[in-house]
Amino acid sequence: MSKTTVEDIEVNGKKVLLRADFNVPLNINTGAISDDSRIRASLPTIKYLVDHKAKVILCSHLGRPRGRVVENLRMAPIAQRLSQLMGLPVSTASDCVGQEVESKVGTLKEGDILVLENPRFHPEEEADDANFARKLARLADIYVNDAFGTAHRAHASTVGVAKYLPAVAGFLMKKELEVMERLLHNPERPLACLIGGAKVSDKIELLQNMLRRVDMLLVGGGMAATFLKTQGYEVGYSLTEDDKLGLAKKLLQEAEEWKMPFLLPIDAVVAEEIKAGAPTRVVPTTNIPSGSHIVDIGPQSIELFYSELRKCRTITWNGPMGIYEIPQFAQGTRSIASFLSTLNATTIIGGGSSAEIVQEMGLTDKMTHVSTGGGASLRFLEGVTLPGVEVLLDKK
């Protein structure tokens, strides 16, 4: 990796502003953390700083308060859970900037941990306001970004603060970048990219960039309907993007010219209504009823995908194969997740809904890498430079 990391600098006795991604899901009724995997993911960096006698000042957003104070999006539950995981006291601040916070930082001893209040309570955070970034920077001597999940956002705490402090990567950021860089530039082949989700428009750049790099492309989910329609097939009421039919046709043509397998579902689960309990049936994708919706890939498609993925040494997956939020339409997605967990291959799950499914099924440890950043990993694989990475110091 070309960026400087926390191991490359002296942190002993330094005040370190550590940008983490603690944007964890909360139970809407109790406010309890329902999945602490993002907190756990940053523990190696936090422990390293504590062990090397840094004064750790943690900064993370939580939810989307949109520039105002939202009581159930305060950072206190995060600090409490972090304290339990670390086995150390973790204090909190009443804000993330200002004189009171600066005074509290001034009392920190080596190895202490302070969690700042949610920076998104200030509209200046998402606006990457320079004055707000300077106030954050005044709290510390060094900036460490371990929040890969927000590295595609140009906010004050991810980009702006790096203009005023030496900025380096934490261990989670380093791991994510190394995995994604290897996937793009030096994967073990054959390399397959499995893409799902609702819309082609959400994955245009990913499709275009990966088409040039992979040995096999497999498409499921709602976006498959657009590709089927461009081939002249009936897709019923399934969501399609008519303004993307030309692009879909071009992608299929390019794959054919390069003799690169581009697999679409050969059968589908269809329903007349998208709701739990709706009657379903399996039909060939060449014979979708006009009054139905495609809600999942069918069993023959699952077997086809299995047979092709078995040939691969590296597989990256981004996006569900059907409307997985409704359990009866989630069989394709869950089957793919289970299958990938059994392979003797490098399996990289691209964050977002794919990561949530893998975590929910308890398969995280059976995958090579499950990204903590859905949007960030998607942008990286599109070939885009992430703002939160670009501002980090290059290795000398």
Rg from Cα positions in the chain: 23
The predicted pLDDT at position 108 comes to: 98
The predicted pLDDT at position 1 comes to: 76
The answer to the question of residue 97 being in a domain is yes
Under the banding of pLDDT at 50, 70 and 90, the label for residue 339 is very high
Same domain membership, residue 206 and residue 164: no
The predicted pLDDT at position 365 comes to: 94
The mean of the pLDDT values for the chain is 95
| Catalytically annotated residues | 38, 199, 352, 375
Distance of alpha carbon 245 from alpha carbon 249, whole angstroms: 6
CATH of the domain at 341: 3.40.50.1260
pLDDT for residue 268 is more than 80 = yes
Question: How far is the CA of 66 from the CAs of 73, 126, 247, 373, in angstroms?
Answer: 11, 9, 35, 20
Longest dimension (CA), the chain: 70
Same domain membership, residue 141 and residue 195: no
Under the banding of pLDDT at 50, 70 and 90, the label for residue 212 is confident
Dihedral, 189, 354, 125, 57 alpha carbons, nearest 10: -80
Distance of alpha carbon 76 from alpha carbon 94, whole angstroms: 10
Same domain membership, residue 211 and residue 336: yes
Residues sharing a CB contact under 8 Å with residue 312, sequence separation 6 or more, in sequence order = 189, 190, 191, 192, 215, 216, 345
E strand or H helix that includes residue 177: helix 171-185
Same domain membership, residue 195 and residue 168: no
Same domain membership, residue 165 and residue 215: no
Domain of 256? 187-381
Q: Which range has the worst mean pLDDT, 103-107, 113-117, 209-213, 368-372? A: 209-213
- Cβ pair 269, 299 in contact under 8 A: no
DSSP letter assigned to residue 117: P
Query: What's the pTM?
Result: 0.92
The answer to the question of residue 391 being in a domain is no
Under the banding of pLDDT at 50, 70 and 90, the label for residue 28 is confident
The answer to the question of residue 392 being in a domain is no
Same domain membership, residue 367 and residue 329: yes
Distance of alpha carbon 341 from alpha carbon 358, whole angstroms: 9
pLDDT for residue 385 is more than 80 = yes
Which of 112, 141, 175 corresponds to the end of one domain?
Answer: 175
Same domain membership, residue 195 and residue 159: no
Same domain membership, residue 191 and residue 157: no
Distance of alpha carbon 79 from alpha carbon 115, whole angstroms: 6
The predicted pLDDT at position 165 comes to: 98
Distance of alpha carbon 6 from alpha carbon 49, whole angstroms: 8
Same domain membership, residue 81 and residue 154: yes
E strand or H helix that includes residue 205: helix 204-211
What tokens does 139 get?
């709290």
pLDDT for residue 351 is more than 80 = no
Same domain membership, residue 120 and residue 258: no
Under the banding of pLDDT at 50, 70 and 90, the label for residue 131 is very high
Which of 108, 141, 175 corresponds to the end of one domain?
Answer: 175
What tokens does 201 get?
């428009």
Per DSSP, the residues of 48-82 read: HHHHTT-EEEEE---S--TTS--GGG-SHHHHHHH
Same domain membership, residue 362 and residue 252: yes
pLDDT digits (tens, 9 = 90+) for 216-264: 999 999 999 999 999 999 999 998 999 999 999 999 999 999 899 999 9
pLDDT digits (tens, 9 = 90+) for 277-292: 999 999 999 999 999 9
Under the banding of pLDDT at 50, 70 and 90, the label for residue 61 is very high
